[in-house]
Amino acid sequence: MLDYKNKKEDLWQVSTVLSRGRATYDVVEASGKLVYLDTFSDSDWNIVSDREMYTTVLFEEKSGGTRISIVTRFATNEQLDRAEAIGMIEGFTDAYDRLEEYLETLMGGKNTMETVISKDGTQIAYTKQGTGPAIILISSAAADYQDASPLAEHLSVNFTVYNYDRRGRGRSTDTSPYEIAREVEDIEALITVAGGQAYLFGSSSGAVLALEAANLLGDSVAKLFLYEPPFIINDSRKQEKP
Q: What is the pTM of this model?
A: 0.59
Identify whether the C-beta of residue 171 lies closer than 8 Å to the C-beta of residue 156: no
For 92-146, what is each residue's pLDDT tens digit? Answer: 777 777 776 666 665 555 557 899 999 999 999 999 999 999 999 999 988 889 8
Residue 2 pLDDT > 60, yes or no?
A: no
Q: Is the pLDDT of residue 237 over 70?
A: no
> How do residues 192-231 score in pLDDT, each as one tens digit?
999 999 999 999 999 999 999 999 999 999 999 999 998 8
Q: How many CB atoms lie within 10 A of CB 54?
A: 14
Please answer whether residues 228 and 206 qualify as being in contact, where contact means their C-beta atoms are separated by less than 8 angstroms: no
Calpha distance 155→147 (Å, rounded): 14
Of the candidates 92, 115, 96, the residue with the CA atom closest to the CA atom of residue 104: 96
pLDDT at 35: 86
Residue pair 78/17 in contact by the 8 Å Cβ criterion: no
